[in-house]
């Protein structure tokens, strides 16, 4: 994991200075919430970060001179941070500055972040809020903002995440996994995906192909075959195929090995490799994979595996299962879902 507002990679980072999470990336970093730098960004006036303490942090009193902009309101920022960080009961923060900038409609926000247990060094991070009230800028990225920052992504996934699924047909609680069959981290998280299916039987758990061809040359072929397996054999055949491909993932290292591995997986799924191969040569099947990739890119998902929980991105490659479950249950609470 790496420091990042909208991602997770390790418990240490998760509990420290990220807004949702960071993870070991297969291709860059995802865009869910902005990074939380260890130092307050340069700008004046700007409060300095509090010194480390062995106890819960005591942030300095807010200085009225650092609140020169009327938008966004402190309440809106707190609601956004609650939506982003609320799964961590030990995390505390204080809005330290809401500052006008030389650009009309662009506001600088500075927030102190700490940990109730005093185990982690308090820090400060900053971002820029846009006039539309729906976006912020941190570093060179744009992120959703608001009390419910994941609503738009959730709606898009409900409409466009059409991959094979297990669990409920209902989309009230939708967990969408973006994965690459040649990605080692994707293989590693399948046990956790199985646990999620068992622990949340009312969830709809969708698999979306996201082959990263630049680093995994056999991933798209595996994805195309998977579409045909689902088309010819249904969801159950797909997940049997997927498990077999992940188990034999080392065979995807070469083109010849990939053919043997994928044909074996197709057979285990109860289908005829020749029929699946013929299906894979049709343009609409390749188009299905390409649309899945575009969906990931539209959501600014840049790494695999990423799990999207009702619109909230969680790069799960290095996240312990108990933390994934905590985030699922927090998002359910935010969305008013009971199970």
Which residues is 111 bridged to in the sheet? 95, 125
pLDDT tens sequence for the chain (339 residues): 233 344 323 222 233 323 333 323 333 333 444 433 333 334 444 555 555 445 778 899 999 999 999 999 999 999 999 999 999 999 999 999 999 999 999 999 999 999 998 787 889 989 999 999 999 998 888 889 999 999 999 999 999 999 999 999 999 999 999 999 999 999 999 999 999 999 999 999 999 999 999 999 999 999 999 999 999 999 999 999 999 999 999 999 999 999 999 999 999 999 999 999 999 999 999 999 999 999 999 999 989 999 999 999 999 998 999 999 999 999 999 999 987
35 to 6, 32, 300: CA distances (angstroms) = 8, 9, 15
pTM of the model: 0.84
Query: Where is 96: in which H helix or E strand?
Result: strand 91-100
User: What ranges do the domains of the chain cover?
Assistant: 41-148, 152-334
If we measure between CA atoms, which residue out of 315, 331, 335, 332 comes closest to residue 14? 315
Q: Please give the Cα distance from 280 to 71 (Å, whole number).
A: 52
Residues 107/99, Cβ–Cβ less than 8 Å: yes
pLDDT at 36: 39
Third-level CATH fold of 152-334: Glutaredoxin (3.40.30)
């Amino acid at each position: 994991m790496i420091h990042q507002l909208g991602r997770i990679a390790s418990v240490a980072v998760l509990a420290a200075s990220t807004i949702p999470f960071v993870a070991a990336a297969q291709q860059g970093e995802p865009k869910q919430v902005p990074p939380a730098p260890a130092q307050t960004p340069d700008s004046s006036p700007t409060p300095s970060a509090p010194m480390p303490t062995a106890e819960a942090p005591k942030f300095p009193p807010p200085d009225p001179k650092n609140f020169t902009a009327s938008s966004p309101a402190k309440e809106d920022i707190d609601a956004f941070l609650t939506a982003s960080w609320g799964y961590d009961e030990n995390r505390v923060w204080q809005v330290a500055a809401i500052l006008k900038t030389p650009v009309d409609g662009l506001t600088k926000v500075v927030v102190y972040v700490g940990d109730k247990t005093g185990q982690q060094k308090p820090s400060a991070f900053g971002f820029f809020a846009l006039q539309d009230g729906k976006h912020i800028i941190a570093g060179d990225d744009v992120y959703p903002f608001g009390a419910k920052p994941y609503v738009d992504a959730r709606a898009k996934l409900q409409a466009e995440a059409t991959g094979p699924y297990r669990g409920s047909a209902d989309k009230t609680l939708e967990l969408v996994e973006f994965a690459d069959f040649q990605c080692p981290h994707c293989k590693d998280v399948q046990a956790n995906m199985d646990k999620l299916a068992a622990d949340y039987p009312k969830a709809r758990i969708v698999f979306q192909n996201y082959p990263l061809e630049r680093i995994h040359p056999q991933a798209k072929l595996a994805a195309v075959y998977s579409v045909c397996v689902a088309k010819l054999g249904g969801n159950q055949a797909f997940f049997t195929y997927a498990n077999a491909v992940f188990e034999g993932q080392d065979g995807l290292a070469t083109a010849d090995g990939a053919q043997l591995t994928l044909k074996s997986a197709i057979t285990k799924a109860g289908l005829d490799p020749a029929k699946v191969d013929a299906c894979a040569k049709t343009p609409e099947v390749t188009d299905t994979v390409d649309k899945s990739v575009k969906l990931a890119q539209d959501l600014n998902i840049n790494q695999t595996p990423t799990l999207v929980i009702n619109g909230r991105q969680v790069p799960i490659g290095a996240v312990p299962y108990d933390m994934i479950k905590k985030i699922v249950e927090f998002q359910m609470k935010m969305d008013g879902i009971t199970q």
